[in-house]
């Protein structure tokens, strides 16, 4: 049975949750970071589910794989930014650890989806 909508994809749902958490956590950052680190983190977080959705809507498996690769890049970017935010004292280690648990799981799922799609090529 094939999925009718990207919204049925667990990786998209997790990406949306991570984007929501990112917005929530960056809301507490210093005001001088509004157009700096906050904005960068929010864009990277939004890029994740957006690229999953766009790739799913494309006409080919190859294009879907390309967009999943972009999503993985955004995930690595976001992890780096969360680590920097912690080092700058904007986040407590417990929040960062929880985020890394989520990003780790999402990364594994994205890699698994890529592997599954590559097997169909």
pLDDT above 60 (res 93): yes
Q: Estimate the crossing angle of helix 10-26 against helix 61-87, to 10 degrees.
A: 30
Domains of the chain listed by start with CATH number: 6-119 (1.20.1440.60)
- Structure confidence at residue 112 (pLDDT): 98
- Condensed to tens digits (0 to 9), the pLDDT of residues 56-69 reads 999 899 999 999 99
18 within 8 A of 45, measured Cβ to Cβ: yes
**Which pLDDT tens digit goes with each residue over 34-54?**
999 999 999 999 999 999 999
């Amino acid at each position: 049975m094939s999925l009718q909508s990207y919204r049925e994809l667990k990786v998209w749902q997790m990406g949306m949750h991570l984007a929501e958490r990112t917005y929530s956590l960056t809301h507490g950052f210093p005001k001088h970071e509004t157009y700096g680190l906050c904005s960068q983190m929010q864009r990277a977080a939004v890029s994740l589910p957006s690229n999953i959705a766009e790739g799913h809507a494309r006409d080919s498996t190859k294009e879907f794989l390309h967009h999943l690769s972009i999503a993985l890049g955004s995930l690595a970017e976001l992890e780096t930014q969360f680590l920097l935010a912690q080092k700058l004292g904007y986040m407590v280690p417990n929040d960062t650890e929880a985020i890394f648990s989520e990003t780790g799981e999402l990364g594994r799922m994205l890699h698994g989806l890529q592997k599954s799609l590559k097997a169909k090529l």
